[in-house]
Structure 1
Amino acid sequence: MAWLGAAVLFLLLCALLGLLLPGPPPSRWRRRLQRVTTGMAARFRRHPVPAPDPFDTLRLQTRLGDLSSKIRTVESAPHVYAKAHRLMALEAAYDDLLDEACRLAGVPDQAECRRAEEKRWQEEQELASRGWSW
């Protein structure tokens, strides 16, 4: 019963306060209050993780296929100027694309590999097990 009296008293005080105040608060206060509340709401709200774009995946697979064919071409050519330099550059670009593909596919990082060939092989196997082809 006491809570009912408290509720009536609260409503009465709200009505009196509404009669005493001239109108809504000034607009700058409302804007500031709105900025503060939206900032606090954004801080506590969970932002959904966007789904990966399938065209990004396709573009990445195409680039991986392109680079792998260029690597095979340079490796099979008997007389290529600066062959080692080209191979190192192509393999570095291929490794970067593999890392990006693994991030996109959700493959965990392969930090325990000592050599680049081991890491490359493991990443290719993980991507192939997830349905990637290039």
Structure 2
Amino acid sequence: MGVRKYLVAVAAVALVASGCGGGSGDSEFCSGSSTSGCTEVPKAAAKEDFCAAGAAFSGSKGFKNGLKAARRLAAVGTPNDIEASARAGFVELVERMVDSKDGPDFRGRTRNLSSAESKHLLDLDTYIQATC
């Protein structure tokens, strides 16, 4: 299962739930050490837990369910062998979903990614393909 499936699933969630609210708008996740106002994503997830949380996220239906699954992803975190760029893609993906107010807001946040964000997502996809 790849990040493309994650993105397609979440984009579908956003389209279906374009009128629903649910994002907190005030969460900030970080891939490094915790700082004020920042929730650190764990770095020692079991690969099985990482893959299961990803499967639940990609299979979620409706914005609120996608949001709940994204929060679970953040709580599970990433395995310790993930490369920094792939981990950044994971954190960025979760943050975009959790910080979105609703489906249209999420869609807006997924447009026009920077070249670094695109690279991070591709690296995450490669990691997921090899791990899950």
**TM-score tier after normalising by the smaller chain length:** under 0.3
Q: Comparing both structures, which one devotes a greater share of its residues to helix?
A: 1
TM-score by length of 1: 0.27
Larger Rg: 1
1 or 2 for the larger relative contact order (CA 8 Å, sep ≥6)?
Answer: 2
TM-score by length of 2: 0.27
